[in-house]
Amino acid sequence: MNFIESLEWRYATKRMNGQPIPTEKLNNILDAILLTPSSYGLTPYNVILVEDPAIKEQLAPHCYNQPQIKESAAILIFAPWKSITAANVDEYMNEIAATRGIPVEALTEFGNMIKGKVTNSSAEDLYNWAAKQAYIALGFGLAAAAIEEVDSTPMEGFNPAGINEVLGLDAKGLNAACMLTLGYRDAANDYLSSAKKVRRDKEKLFIKY
């Protein structure tokens, strides 16, 4: 399938069959998420991979017992940083310097620009900014899963506080913002598996000047 065919093939899978995902396919999805662009390249979020059935059991009540939580092969939880500090920026500058083989001092102006945003933004604005970056990563994960012919469901229908508690995210300075369940469709029990995809007409969606 080409990319558009892959997107036509995918849908928000409501029931999965528990079949494991081949390691190569899962790694390709994770690599696509790793390569997601983010503002300044800072990537102010973490992605938690859950494959352990026992942890899925603990997560399920906080996700209103939606069946794909337990039936999926894996769950990705996108968790923005609750705070962004100058130390985070310095760590990122050091990573750039090491990767590109340049002195970190050459990045002073770039680092100060990011620190300016951090210093002049409220904690709420910084968290919302980080969350937007995490949602871009969610989109890349959805697209990569479709290319790998792995079913997926993007999810916001959960209690973040409960997810944070199960995974100990508060102590890590993280907050669960959105999820992506991954696995394979149980077509016989999923009412959406054979439903036609519904999207707005191009003429209504796109505005041309």
3-18: per-residue pLDDT in tens? Answer: 999 999 999 999 999 9
| Residue labelled with tokens 């913002």 | 177
Note the pLDDT of residue 165.
98
Q: How far apart are CA 148 and CA 137, in angstroms?
A: 16
Q: What is the pTM of this model?
A: 0.96
The H or E element that residue 153 is part of is strand 151-155
Confidence of residue 161 (pLDDT cuts 50, 70, 90): very high
Reduced to 3 states (helix: H, G, I; strand: E, B; else coil), residue 154 is strand
Contact indicator for 174, 79 with CB cutoff of 8 Å: yes
Confidence of residue 73 (pLDDT cuts 50, 70, 90): very high
| pLDDT above 90 as % of the chain | 100
Domains and CATH numbers, the chain: 3-86+122-205 (3.40.109.10)
Strand order in the sheet with 178-183: 45-50, 74-80, 178-183, 151-155
Q: What is the pLDDT of residues 167-209, one digit of tens each?
A: 999 999 999 999 999 999 999 999 999 999 999 999 999 999 9
Note the pLDDT of residue 146.
98
Q: What is the pLDDT of residues 12-61, one digit of tens each?
A: 999 999 999 999 999 999 999 999 999 999 999 999 999 999 999 999 99
Q: What is the pLDDT of residues 88-142, one digit of tens each?
A: 999 999 999 999 999 999 999 999 999 999 999 999 999 999 999 999 999 999 9
Note the pLDDT of residue 145.
98
Residue 202 neighbours by CB distance under 10 Å: 7
Cα atoms found within 13 Å of the Cα of residue 175, Cβ hemisphere only? 16
Note the pLDDT of residue 151.
98
Note the pLDDT of residue 199.
96
